[in-house]
Chain A
Amino acid sequence: MAEVVTDFDAIVVGSGITGGWAAKELTEKGLRVLMLERGKPLEHGKDYVTEHMPPWEIPFGGRPPRELYAAEYPIQSSSYAFDETTRHFWINDKDNPYVCEPDKPFHWLRADVVGGKSLLWGRQVYRWSDLDFSANKSDGHGSDWPIRYADLKDWYAYVERFIGVSGQAENLPHLPDGEFQPPMAMTTLEKAAKQRIEAQYKNRKMTIGRVANLTEPLDNRGSCHYCGVCQRGCSVGAYFSSHSSTLPAARKTGRLTLRANSVVEGLDYDAPSRRISGVRAIDTQTGERRRYTARLVFLCASTVGSVQILLNSRSEHFPQGLANRSGTLGRYVMDHTSGLAAVGVSMEFPEKYWYGARPNGIYIPRFRNLGKRDADVDFVRGYGFQGMSMPLEWKMMGGQIPGFGAGFKQALRKPGGWIFALVGFGECLPYRDNRVLLDAKKVDRFGIPQVRFEVEFRDNEQRMRADINREAQAMLKAAGMTQVIPVGVEGPPGSAIHEMGGARMGRDAADSVLNAHNQAHDIPNLFVTDGACMTSSSCVNPSLTFMALTARAADYAVAQLRSGAI
């Protein structure tokens, strides 16, 4: 008989970017919260075992142990944030398989520890504007968002003030400024590139990245030390993660109970009350099953994780999956297109170098289709670029400097110019047939049906990619690079790690899973606030929007609880 636990006002599934926020908000508003996390326990500071690992202690000189990665981490190891100093945070692919077709690959990137990808993320944070919220309505792809920027504006500010974001105000209507700590500096080359690109392209801008790294201390968190290894964990708390920020806030209330090693198998629905009556979890270490009850449930298990739980919670009342009267659960899944578009080489500033490892790059906001569709463009929506310059040092150049001996040795320690890389992130349209389902046969090691992906980039994304690659080269030329190398990497869906959709918000219960408050249309005590809720994808990094939606939904949910509506 499964143990039943009934002590909590709210259950939050997931401890990552949104789970941490839900727990913080709900506990601060007086609720006793149980947080269930499938990953392993992790203690801020103490468990950052590689945080200060010097170069000479990194196995194989930092080169990837290829056989191990191919056997156990073939997908996870494709991430820029995966190496021997971070591998212990990531999920093991071999132990946690999923299904996709060979011609429709999907890279499902996941952590497997408390804090989730909030430990590993790139920390870029940008607000949406109404250009994004209105996009579906304007061009007819997907269905209309039930909210607009005005609904989220104050929540963006609320989140930014808490997490700490450094950035530069640019007064762009389609990329609203946030509440910023002082911006990080550009390099000499980036400043020159900015000036030249903006001179040649009157409607384009290059700004410093808006990043959730502190440039000033905030609460108990110290400002960034510029060691450049954020993903290993930061005991100073200089970047936003659940560990540095939201979990401590929740714990401070005394009302948080966190159970790691707890994978949620499904939610129980009680028809007479129209409520989620229980959350069923499996202990990943012992296999024990437990059932938890609470008045409120927040699903923050990550885009695909939350959809998987809902699909696996089908019942006689919801035969297509919990909260799926509309048939849209698992559908309209998106990821940004992404990839290194082009690299420029510059010999212009040979005497210039840098001091400190900046955990941030530059950003070129969207310049395509800002009003009506641009005349000379064959796609809808738009894209932005992340980029950065770096000196060409031994790591990249060492083997190619000619010769050997004393002269070669001396050349090793002087940079041979700079490179400037531009990585494009393109909006992906919401397609009904881009979907996530449960495999009919395969189960995971807990007996839960494996996720099956049927997601591909289609015409609009491919045409946009061609423009991304073309414009990256053009801008690098305009920036004065000595040499421009077209690269045009096109990662498969999932590789941007911005997967969204599957339980979209909408005005119409017949056509969406969630209402304007991230609340399931028919189930007042169920909220989904991670990336699954997204109705379109914009081209900007989504985590800030996930956090703002979560804080807003928690505020609404508690008000509903207090008024007796839930």
Chain B
Amino acid sequence: MNRRELLKVASVLLGGTLSASLARGVLGESIAPAGELIAEAPLKKISVLCEMIIPKTDTPGAIDAGVPSFVAMMVSRWYTDAERRIFFAGLDDLDTYCVGHYAAAFLQCDAAQRIDALTSAENAAKNYRGSSFAFDGKSVDPNTPFFTKLKELAVLGYCMSETGSKQFLAYNPMPMRFDGDYEFAKVGTEWAW
């Protein structure tokens, strides 16, 4: 019996979900200290999650655009300790959910199961009104839930990337004129700024 099956059996015996800390201990996650590179397992998870949020379609996806390393950089270098804790707890909660529902860690689940897990993270965030970044672009609410943090960072990393700016948005740094009655259909996508 491998670890995954053991956990599946255990979860039935324990009546549902394993506690988060137990799952964390078993699955060996850790919180990266500030500034250090994020360990391989969380980085792989971040990659998968970013691509789930912004998949390759007829335009490049998050992995094509370098979003995972941007997100990892922001989490390790830009976040406060408290924000980092929320983020890593959220990553762990995905495993807890998956172990509880599918007796497998998030990365070992299939696409449909992963979607289900991420959806549960989104639902957990639904009651929290507001985003991390205020209208002024400067003030930050550090208490936003995991899913909000993840999605905002993925969107930021993607839309600010060269790939995202040029192949998903429309990159036009020197417009040379201003037209305030412009038909959106003429460009068909937002400008990259």
Q: Is the CB of B179 within 8 A of A398?
A: no
Interface presence of A30 (CB below 8 A): no
- How far is B74's CA from A414's CA once the two chains are assembled, in angstroms? 26
Q: Is the CB of B159 within 8 A of A351?
A: no
Q: Which of B145-193 contact A (CB under 8 A)?
A: 148, 151-152, 155-157, 159-162, 165, 168-169, 171, 173-187, 189-193
Q: Report B-chain residues with C-beta under 8 Å of the C-beta of A403.
A: 122
Interface presence of A102 (CB below 8 A): no
Q: Which of A71-104 contact B (CB under 8 A)?
A: 77-78, 80, 83
Q: Is the CB of A354 within 8 A of B55?
A: no
Q: Of the 9-residue stretches B9-17, B21-29, B88-96, B129-137, which lies at the interface with chain A?
A: B129-137
- How far is B61's CA from A405's CA once the two chains are assembled, in angstroms? 10
Q: Report A-chain residues with C-beta under 8 Å of the C-beta of B70.
A: 61
Indicate the member of A184, A358, A399 with the most B CB atoms within 10 Å: A399
Q: Is the CB of A188 within 8 A of B180?
A: yes
- How far is B193's CA from A399's CA once the two chains are assembled, in angstroms? 17
Q: Is the CB of B193 within 8 A of A353?
A: no
Q: Is the CB of A399 within 8 A of B132?
A: yes
Q: Is the CB of A399 within 8 A of B131?
A: yes
Chain A proximity of B93: nearest CB distance (Å): 16
Interface presence of B63 (CB below 8 A): no
Q: Report A-chain residues with C-beta under 8 Å of the C-beta of B185.
A: 351
Q: Is the CB of B173 within 8 A of A63?
A: no
Q: Report A-chain residues with C-beta under 8 Å of the C-beta of B124.
A: none
**Residue in A185, A190, A396, A405 whose beta carbon sits within 8 Å of that of B52 in the complex:** A405
User: Which residue on B lies nearest to A398, using beta carbons?
Assistant: B155
Indicate the member of A80, A356, A357 with the most B CB atoms within 10 Å: A356
Q: Is the CB of B187 within 8 A of A404?
A: no
Q: Is the CB of B140 within 8 A of A354?
A: no
What sequence of 0s and 1s flags, for each residue 337-367 of chain A, a beta carbon within 8 Å of any chain B beta carbon? 0001001000000111111111000000000
**Residue in B152, B174, B178, B187 whose beta carbon sits within 8 Å of that of A398 in the complex:** B152
Q: Report A-chain residues with C-beta under 8 Å of the C-beta of B171.
A: 54
- How far is B186's CA from A351's CA once the two chains are assembled, in angstroms? 10
Q: Is the CB of B174 within 8 A of A225?
A: yes
Do A356 and B178 contact each other (CB < 8 Å), given the known contacts A61-B157, A409-B55, A413-B169? yes
User: Which residue on B lies nearest to A400, using beta carbons?
Assistant: B131
Q: Is the CB of A61 within 8 A of B179?
A: no
Interface presence of A406 (CB below 8 A): yes
Indicate the member of A188, A191, A404 with the most B CB atoms within 10 Å: A404
B: interface residue count bin: 35 or more
Q: Report A-chain residues with C-beta under 8 Å of the C-beta of B59.
A: 409
Q: Is the CB of B55 within 8 A of A405?
A: yes
Q: Is the CB of B184 within 8 A of A351?
A: yes
User: Which residue on B lies nearest to A353, using beta carbons?
Assistant: B184
Q: Report A-chain residues with C-beta under 8 Å of the C-beta of B187.
A: 353, 355
Q: Report B-chain residues with C-beta under 8 Å of the C-beta of A352.
A: 181-184
Q: Is the CB of A357 within 8 A of B182?
A: no
- How far is B152's CA from A227's CA once the two chains are assembled, in angstroms? 25
**Residue in A188, A395, A398, A404 whose beta carbon sits within 8 Å of that of B118 in the complex:** A404
Q: Report B-chain residues with C-beta under 8 Å of the C-beta of A61.
A: 70, 74, 156-157, 160
Do A399 and B190 contact each other (CB < 8 Å), given the known contacts A61-B74, A186-B180? no
Q: Is the CB of B182 within 8 A of A353?
A: yes
- How far is B70's CA from A303's CA once the two chains are assembled, in angstroms? 43
- How far is B181's CA from A554's CA once the two chains are assembled, in angstroms? 44
Q: Report B-chain residues with C-beta under 8 Å of the C-beta of A190.
A: 180
Interface presence of A45 (CB below 8 A): no
Interface presence of A466 (CB below 8 A): no
Q: Which of B88-141 contact A (CB under 8 A)?
A: 115, 118, 122, 131-133, 135-138, 140
Q: Report B-chain residues with C-beta under 8 Å of the C-beta of A351.
A: 183-185
User: Which residue on B lies nearest to A62, using beta carbons?
Assistant: B160
Interface presence of A55 (CB below 8 A): yes
Q: Report A-chain residues with C-beta under 8 Å of the C-beta of B191.
A: 393
**Residue in B74, B177, B193 whose beta carbon sits within 8 Å of that of A228 in the complex:** B193
- How far is B36's CA from A386's CA once the two chains are assembled, in angstroms? 45
Q: Is the CB of B138 within 8 A of A77?
A: yes
Interface presence of B31 (CB below 8 A): no
Interface presence of B20 (CB below 8 A): no
Q: Report B-chain residues with C-beta under 8 Å of the C-beta of A405.
A: 52-53, 55, 115
Q: Is the CB of B190 within 8 A of A394?
A: yes
User: Which residue on A lies nearest to B138, using beta carbons?
Assistant: A64
What sequence of 0s and 1s flags, for each residue 365-395 of chain A, a beta carbon within 8 Å of any chain B beta carbon? 0000000000000000000000000010111
**Residue in B74, B160, B178, B181 whose beta carbon sits within 8 Å of that of A56 in the complex:** B160
Q: Is the CB of A394 within 8 A of B159?
A: yes
Q: Is the CB of A188 within 8 A of B193?
A: no
Q: Which of A199-244 contact B (CB under 8 A)?
A: 225-228
Interface presence of A284 (CB below 8 A): no
Interface presence of B57 (CB below 8 A): yes
- How far is B190's CA from A65's CA once the two chains are assembled, in angstroms? 26
Q: Which of A395-446 contact B (CB under 8 A)?
A: 395-396, 398-400, 402-406, 408-410, 412-415
Q: Report B-chain residues with C-beta under 8 Å of the C-beta of A357.
A: 175, 178, 193
Q: Report A-chain residues with C-beta under 8 Å of the C-beta of B192.
A: 55
Chain B proximity of A125: nearest CB distance (Å): 18
User: Which residue on B lies nearest to A402, using beta carbons?
Assistant: B122
Q: Report B-chain residues with C-beta under 8 Å of the C-beta of A52.
A: 173
Q: Is the CB of A406 within 8 A of B57?
A: yes
Q: Report B-chain residues with C-beta under 8 Å of the C-beta of A413.
A: 168-169, 189-190
User: Which residue on B lies nearest to A396, using beta carbons?
Assistant: B135
User: Which residue on B lies nearest to A410, using beta carbons?
Assistant: B57
6 extra interchain contacts, Cβ-Cβ under 8 A, other than A55-B161, A56-B165? A66-B80, A226-B176, A227-B175, A355-B186, A391-B190, A398-B156
Q: Can you name 21 A-B pairs with beta carbons within 8 Å?
A: A52-B173, A61-B156, A61-B157, A83-B137, A185-B178, A185-B181, A226-B176, A227-B174, A354-B180, A355-B175, A355-B186, A357-B175, A358-B180, A393-B190, A398-B152, A403-B122, A404-B54, A405-B53, A406-B57, A409-B54, A415-B190
Q: What 6 A-B pairs come out closest when comparing CB atoms? A: A356-B175, A187-B180, A356-B178, A398-B155, A353-B184, A399-B152
